[in-house]
Amino acid sequence: MELSQNNPISTSLKNQFESCMVMLQKLIDIMLPDMWQSDNNGIPVWQQVYHVVYFIDNWFRYTYVRKQKDHFVGDFSLSPDLDKPLPESEVISQSDMNDYLKKIHCKTVAVFNNMTDEKLGKPIIDGGSKEYTHMDVTVGQIRHIMYNIGSLNRLLRDKGLPESDWYAYNE
């Protein structure tokens, strides 16, 4: 992927984010069905994946001034909070999670296509805190995705299963 001469920083962040999305997609794809509902430190694997995907959906928006649910592409009513227990009958299938991630990916591509280096340094809400910018959202989500992939890769390694290998667009 080539860096844009006009917006090299936003292009670089987009590329780094895309690498995270490839790894997250691979993680969902390689997870064995019986592992999907297994426990990872008290949290079902599917719920941890949902938590990550939900917050990508939540944080990558065209605008931050609309009602919270107005920008979502997912239609699940489950809480993404890992400390809230869910009814045992509630499970999001790998297939549904894949569909959700694909919808989000379309949205994030569009958000990044409208990102500029100048916009990265601006607050997410006009007139809002200069301490929470578009750069903060992007880097925060990259960190969040990779933290959770690492946690789930550890679970897979502990069980002797293949993990979501490192992927980098520039290697």
Q: Which residue ranges form the domains of the chain, and what is each CATH number?
A: 14-158 (1.20.120)
Per-residue pLDDT of the chain (171 residues; tens, 9 = 90+): 455 578 999 999 999 999 999 999 999 999 999 999 898 888 999 999 999 999 999 999 888 876 666 678 877 778 888 888 777 778 899 999 999 999 999 999 999 999 999 999 999 987 666 678 999 999 999 999 999 999 999 999 999 999 998 988 767
Compute and round to an integer the Cα radius of gyration of the chain. 17
Place of tokens 């045992």: 88
Provide the residue type at 162 as one letter: P
> What DSSP state is assigned to residue 88?
T
Asked if 7 and 117 touch (Cβ cutoff 8 Å), the reply is yes
Place of tokens 């667009």: 169
Asked if 47 and 82 touch (Cβ cutoff 8 Å), the reply is yes
First to last CA, the chain: 11
CA–CA gap between residue 94 and residue 14 (Å, rounded): 25
pTM for the predicted model, two decimal places: 0.90
**What's the token pair of residue 16?**
């780094």
Provide the residue type at 155 as one letter: L
